[in-house]
Amino acid sequence: MKLYDIPVHTLSGEEGSLAPFEGKTILVVNVASKCGLTPQYAGLEELQKSYESRGFSVVGFPCNQFMGQEPGSAEEIQTFCSTTYGVTFPLFEKIDVNGDARSPIYELLTATTDAEGYSGDIRWNFEKFLVGPDGSVQRFAPQVEPQDPALVGAIEELLG
């Protein structure tokens, strides 16, 4: 199954998939509202605003698997993201990124190796997967800030 064919639900509970993003460049990120890395939301939104007109989107998947740092309801997550960080990129339902209940999206993505040679389970909130228009995947560790030159350079390269 392709990444774009996997059923997902929006944060508001509507059925959907990543199909609208097929052929575009997306940055898939597992996000959390009560994490030391939560301020990365601001940088992710900056990427969204900078590149959305060129066929790019951040795609956020809230996850509560790391020390319970995303305990909120869908409505609480939406409110927090929009009022605290002005998030406009799409957020999907809270999912598991590791373990037996891992989302099929993350089943596909976690096979990718990052620059340090790591593949497998998600290590923490804000791990990033840059998916190119051709379906290629690049993985970035949670500590890699959204404005990191390596990530921005990879985005710009994919956008041409």
Determine the 3-state secondary structure of 2 from DSSP.
coil
Phi-psi region of 126 (alpha: psi -120 to 50; beta: other; left: phi over 0): left
Q: Cα(147)–Cα(151) distance, rounded to whole angstroms?
A: 7
Two tokens at 20? 């609208």
Which residues form the catalytic set? 35
Q: Cα(159)–Cα(94) distance, rounded to whole angstroms?
A: 29
